[in-house]
Amino acid sequence: MFHQFLISMLVSSLTIAVIMLIKKVFRKQLSAKWQHRIWIFLPISLLLPFIPRQFADFDIPYHLSSNQLVENVNPSMETRSRMSENNNWLQDLTISIQDSTPPYLDTLVGSIWIGGMAVLTIFMIMAWYRTKRLQNNTRKLKNQEVLQLFEQCKQKLHISRKIHVGESPRIATPMMCGLFKPCVVLPPRLDAWLSLKEIQFIFLHELYHFKNKDNWINYLMAFFQVLYWFNPLIWIAVREMRLDREIACDHAVLQCLDEQSQTEYGNTIIHFVEREMRIRNFRFSSQLNGSKAHIKK
**Number of structural domains found in the chain:** 1
Predicted confidence (pLDDT) per residue in 128-187, tens digit: 898 888 888 888 888 889 999 999 999 999 998 999 998 988 887 788 888 888 999 988
Cα(164)–Cα(245) distance, rounded to whole angstroms? Answer: 23
Instruction: Quote the pLDDT of residue 61.
Output: 44
Q: What residues does 185 pair with on adjacent strands? A: 166, 175
Residue 16: inside a domain: no
Q: 7-16 in b/e burial notation, b at 16+ Cβ within 10 A? A: bbbebbbebb
Q: Give the residue with greater pLDDT, 252 vs 278.
A: 252
Residues β-bridged to residue 186: 167
Q: Per-residue pLDDT averaged across 101-119, rounded?
A: 82
The answer to whether residue 73 sits within a structural domain is no
- What whole-number distance in Å separates Cα of residue 126 and Cα of residue 105? 32
**What's the longest Cα–Cα distance across the chain?**
86
Considering the domain boundaries, does residue 108 fall inside one? yes
Measure Cα distances from 16 to 9, 130, 236 in Å: 11, 30, 9
Q: For residue 213, tell me if it sits in a domain.
A: yes
Which residues, other chains included, contact 75 with Cβ-Cβ below 8 Å and sequence gap of 6+? none
What is the Cα Rg of the chain in Å? 25
Let me know: does 27 contact 118? Beta carbons within 8 Å.
Answer: no
Give the pTM.
Answer: 0.72
Contacts of 269 (CB under 8 A, 6+ apart): 250, 288, 289, 295
- Domain limits for position 271: 103-296
Q: How far apart are CA 239 and CA 11, in angstroms?
A: 19
Asked if the structure places residue 91 within a domain, the reply is no
Say which CATH number the domain at 288 has: 3.30.2010.10
Please check whether residue 190 lies inside any domain of the structure.
Answer: yes
Q: What pLDDT was estimated at residue 147?
A: 92
Residue 280 lies in a domain: yes
What residues are paired with 183 via a beta bridge? 164, 177
| Mean pLDDT computed over 280-286 | 41
pLDDT, mean of residues 211-235: 91
Residue 116 burial (CB count, 10 A) = 15
Residue 282: CA atoms inside 13 Å, Cβ hemisphere, count?
24
Q: In this predicted structure, what is the pLDDT of residue 47?
A: 87
Residue range 255-267, pLDDT digits in tens: 888 888 888 888 8
pLDDT, tens digit, for every residue of 33-86? 889 989 999 998 888 887 766 555 544 343 434 444 344 445 445 544 554 554
What is the three-state SS of 190-259?
A: HHHCCCHHHHHHHHHHHHHHHHCCHHHHHHHHHHHHHHCCCCHHHHHHHHHHHHHHHHHHHHHHHHCCCH
Burial class (CB in 10 A: 0-12, 13-18, 19+), 292: exposed
In-domain check, residue 226: yes
Q: What is the crossing angle of helices 214-227 and 196-211, to 10°?
A: 50
